[in-house]
Amino acid sequence: MREIKPVILPKDNGPHNFVVEWWYFNGHLKDVEGREYSFMDCFFKVDISKVNIPHLSPGLIKDIFKKNEYVHFAHSVVTDIKKGKSHKEIQNISFVSEDSFSKDLLYIDYHKPNIFGYNSKGKIIEITPNNFHIQNNNLNLVLISKKKPLLEGGHGYVGTPRNGSYYYSFTDMKASGSINVGGKDIDVYGKAWMDHQWADVSYKGKSDKWTWFSFQLDNGTEIMCVEYDREEGSDILIDMVDKYGHQTQYKKANFTPLNKHDWKSKKTKAIYPLSWRIEIINADIVIHTEAESKDQEMIFGQINYWEGPMKVIAFIDGKKVKGKGYMELVGYPSDYNYLLLEGKETEKDILKRIKKLYKKI
């Protein structure tokens, strides 16, 4: 069991030798004509010998991965709100450059080599302390933090020393740059959110399920709230920062799905509740939130999850406040076969394809 240490920035924006780690960004954007878009971009770093990722498991490709070796992958989506259409970029495996994770500030240069010729690239660069440039095939954005970081749990660590996670967020980031929609580059501006987590947990439990939200309200308040279900029971965590930077934590809330807005995936048959009522106990806050786009399902091997933008109306001390949000739904049951979705590949086909990718680098 490791000692829990304080989060120190910008140092902790960089990598850690833990089982799993990710850098996550989402945001809400507009073009010069006022059309609305959203995005999510996330880069993962995992110890493949300790994390259950079926299509990358050591049991399948044990002659490629070494014990305690880190494997990387990246997921991204840009959504055209008016059209309700999402443009997804999922790298089932990513390779990082030799100089990634080697600089004073966070620097990740990654790509997905492909034997069919399509090469997907990406970068996450900390241009100055706590300010970032993120780039992939779908987006090219500069994100400038306007508030001090929100330290989840009050000190940047949530859970127990045995089963917890370091976690902090930049909840109010000015976003500018461009996105690519349908092959067209569009200049955009808006507001973004960044999460960084690292933990010594395996996420091997089949019953692990969570419902997560980030809310950015028009009165300058930002809220992170999550309900995490596991075999031992349910955990709730809520962290809030007001326009002055004051931070508050709550651990009691009612998450109520409004089932009339369920959406069923044609691919995985998973059913996702896309409209929620969240009542934060002891805070006199009630949040109503509804998805702005339905088809936001991300499929990563055997894992399916929903990730997308939300409309938000909050009632704080009886006063109505509008805003924007982002929702992540993980662990919702599905009925599909990854091999069929990937083109009826056998396990031997997958092994052969990944070996070819490794030989190319």
DSSP 291: E
Q: Is residue 126 a part of any domain in this protein?
A: yes
CATH number at residue 26: 2.40.370.10
The pTM for the full model equals: 0.91
- Structural domain of residue 214, as residue ranges? 11-359
Does an H or E element contain 275, and which? strand 275-280
The dihedral over CA atoms of 195, 197, 201, 203, expressed in degrees to the nearest 10, equals 20
pLDDT in tens, 176-220: 999 999 889 999 999 999 999 999 987 655 567 899 999 999 999
Overall domain count for the chain? 1
Q: Is residue 5 a part of any domain in this protein?
A: no
Whether 337 shows a pLDDT value over 80: the answer reads: no
Instruction: Give the pLDDT band (50/70/90) at residue 51.
Output: confident
Mean pLDDT of 52-76: 73
Under DSSP, is residue 82 helix (H, G, I), strand (E, B) or coil?
coil
Whether 285 shows a pLDDT value over 80: the answer reads: yes
DSSP β-bridge partners for residue 321: 314
Specify the range with the lowest mean pLDDT, choosing from 36-45, 60-69, 86-95, 167-176.
Answer: 60-69
Q: Is residue 317 a part of any domain in this protein?
A: yes
Under DSSP, is residue 340 helix (H, G, I), strand (E, B) or coil?
helix
Q: What is the mean pLDDT of the chain?
A: 88
Whether 307 shows a pLDDT value over 50: the answer reads: yes
Q: Is residue 2 a part of any domain in this protein?
A: no
Q: Is residue 4 a part of any domain in this protein?
A: no
Q: Is residue 319 a part of any domain in this protein?
A: yes
pLDDT computed for residue 2 by the predictor: 82
pLDDT computed for residue 77 by the predictor: 97
- Rounded CA gap, 63 and 314, in Å? 52
Q: Is residue 77 a part of any domain in this protein?
A: yes
With contact defined as beta carbons under 8 Å apart, do 265 and 304 qualify?
yes
pLDDT computed for residue 343 by the predictor: 47
Q: Is residue 32 a part of any domain in this protein?
A: yes
Burial 205-216 (b: 16+ CB within 10 A, else e): eeebbbbbbbbb
